[in-house]
Structure 1
């Protein structure tokens, strides 16, 4: 019996499970393979919708589905938060105390935000990387009449690398639509000497920010935030005042992976092509949890799932695991005023943003609705 255990019910884990269920259908039917997905909640949440939730443009009913509905019938669903992963014993133990032995392991639990690592951020800042945070930010934005809004990228890497830029562009459109833009200053900060870590995206985005009257501060590494004075102090010695701070906090792999000794500098060391966890050929990692030099985006997890599923299926059948991930990434970028662009790139080919258009904006909204087919492994 080959036991395949997948940890994580996001896009990476769900797509991997469904692809394996289809590919290994004969082995599953014959009882030679058992396929489990372990997640911490009974619902699957489409996290990119949080950006829209921050502007009141979507609701939980639109971005939530029961996890069971998205999984192939052959996949056993376990809703029980993972507490430890013992790679020596090949065992995953959950909060209930139940343990699961695996032959092959897939780590796809996503990333978590750790705003507490930045002094003052929890008390003074808002963020849109969690469901609660995006809903709270919307309430703040609805009441915000005038003053300085700072969008500050504090932690890198973070989920959806273009989302802070999208937030800045959408803030500009939000306040213009409400006739408040002349009363609101928008400031965008980034820790290195450009507005995005990817040079091609930075080159495209910088003039877009200027065109919208969004002030930019680079080489801006946040050291601490004073909640009472509403100021940000940087390692460079600068100080910036704000009325509303939208901070992109530090991110890290889930705590159970760190406690299990599977992370280095916050992330799971992963082979960039095979997606095997380094030092553990029977374990794979994909999506936000890896240390790979790719975007922590849903599309990446989707593309990586095909590689992981193909390699595990090959192992089960005693064949060489020949599938390779090439770094493929695809990201839509909202630019405000019902326009968007997109970038597509891989390890060897840099992104080239296309001209923003209404067509791309509506294509992104359409994908948000069609995402559930992606999760099922249909597209």
Structure 2
């Protein structure tokens, strides 16, 4: 009997996994003993880290977009469709227009979605670079912003790319200085807990840099409502913060299908953090942002987790014990300006220790951004 692996989501995790399985199960695919189907609700694969550079005019949104068909191995059954129901008991997916898809193994790599509507006034007032349209609109605002108060407010956690809010204020500070405008622009950074980042080691490293660059810090600031006319943020703690330009990290959620299937809350799948197996259903895995493991919602995490899931699936399909486990490995470049960056690498046991910022690391990040498409294809 042919084993059928269905991957839902064509982002980093889903695409890397599909290509890994194509390589790992080469003989089984050729013998029609295994089928791998990748389902995505659109034809494009988007590399979202590019969006950080769009507001500063350094990249265009299309730089982060490729056709999935160009990235995925030809032996993968690529389906552009929207899944409307997950039945883990029957091991069946229901797609748009009533079509169904049965599976033997299901991997959820559905990522994060933005939910600015959860904060009154945010959709009308805030700009973001966590979406393609948001990054383009923010670029237009920044180009005409020559004086006033810029506020970067982290409103929702967890969120994609936990370092990106720090990167934005570091880059904005440098960008305004290069243009001779920094003395006329105040920058304030808000974070919902009592430090500037969720990871205490990164927070301890970042705060002195922010203070040295005169970036104002408001911690334990949870935005509750935005007044677009008054240009003010009201926090749950009872304080108000006025702005001239608001850049927000909106609340993030997973897809409703996950919660409707009983796999977890807010669209995140409850998993064993080492095996990435869903706790509420058999033969179901989750990876990347979709998996509630406690590690950052970062592309590197999805990449490493995809390798683990591929090994476990190959072992199961071949009737062998699945022994591969995920150790929490995460790595991330952190831009500290327009021409310098730091780097961190950590896992469940070893905390991050950011490297001293350097131009070399900045260029290393840009080089990785360029070579990312080889990673997605499974060539790196």
* Shorter-chain TM-score above 0.5: yes
Contact 2:192 2:219 in 1 (8 A): yes
Q: CA deviation at 1:227?
A: 1.2
Mapping for residues 249-328 of structure 1, pairs under 5 Å: 249-328=250-329
Aligned residues: 379
How far apart, CA to CA, are the structure 2 residues paired with 1:257 and 1:365?
Answer: 34
How far apart, CA to CA, are the structure 2 residues paired with 1:119 and 1:263?
Answer: 26
Confirm or deny that 1:345 pairs with 2:373.
no
Q: CA deviation at 1:259?
A: 3.0
SS at structure 1 position matched to 2:196: coil
SS at structure 2 position matched to 1:368: helix
Confirm or deny that 1:181 pairs with 2:144.
no
TM-score by length of 1: 0.98
Residues 197-236 of structure 1 deviation map (CA, whole Å, 9 limit, x = unaligned) = 1011000000110111100011111111111111111111
SS at structure 2 position matched to 1:233: strand
Q: CA deviation at 1:65?
A: 1.2
Residues 255-307 of structure 1 deviation map (CA, whole Å, 9 limit, x = unaligned) = 23233332224411011000001122301000011211101000000000010
Long gaps (5+) in structure 1: none
How far apart, CA to CA, are the structure 2 residues paired with 1:70 and 1:18?
Answer: 8
Q: CA deviation at 1:251?
A: 0.5
How far apart, CA to CA, are the structure 1 residues paired with 2:122 and 2:216?
Answer: 21
Q: CA deviation at 1:242?
A: 0.4
Deviates more, 1:168-177 or 1:60-69: 60-69
TM-score by length of 2: 0.98
Mapping for residues 337-376 of structure 1, pairs under 5 Å: 337-376=338-377
How far apart, CA to CA, are the structure 2 residues paired with 1:163 and 1:110?
Answer: 17
Q: Provide the residue aligned with 2:205 in structure 1.
A: 204
How far apart, CA to CA, are the structure 1 residues paired with 2:264 and 2:53?
Answer: 32
SS at structure 1 position matched to 2:372: helix
RMSD, aligned CA: 1.0
Long gaps (5+) in structure 2: none
Contact 2:121 2:227 in 1 (8 A): yes
Given the superposition, is the C-alpha separation of residues 104 and 266 from structure 1 closer, same or farther in structure 2, using an over 3 Å criterion? closer
How far apart, CA to CA, are the structure 2 residues paired with 1:356 and 1:130?
Answer: 27
How far apart, CA to CA, are the structure 2 residues paired with 1:266 and 1:303?
Answer: 21
Q: Provide the residue aligned with 1:46 in structure 2.
A: 47
Contact 1:148 1:242 in 2 (8 A): yes
How far apart, CA to CA, are the structure 2 residues paired with 1:66 and 1:228?
Answer: 41
How far apart, CA to CA, are the structure 2 residues paired with 1:77 and 1:60?
Answer: 24
Mapping for residues 155-174 of structure 1, pairs under 5 Å: 155-174=156-175
How far apart, CA to CA, are the structure 1 residues paired with 2:264 and 2:63?
Answer: 34
How far apart, CA to CA, are the structure 2 residues paired with 1:256 and 1:141?
Answer: 37
Q: Provide the residue aligned with 2:69 in structure 1.
A: 68
How far apart, CA to CA, are the structure 1 residues paired with 2:39 and 2:257?
Answer: 14
| Structure 1 segments of 4+ aligned residues over 4 angstroms from their partners | none
SS at structure 2 position matched to 1:280: coil
Contact 1:15 1:377 in 2 (8 A): yes
Q: Provide the residue aligned with 1:143 in structure 2.
A: 144
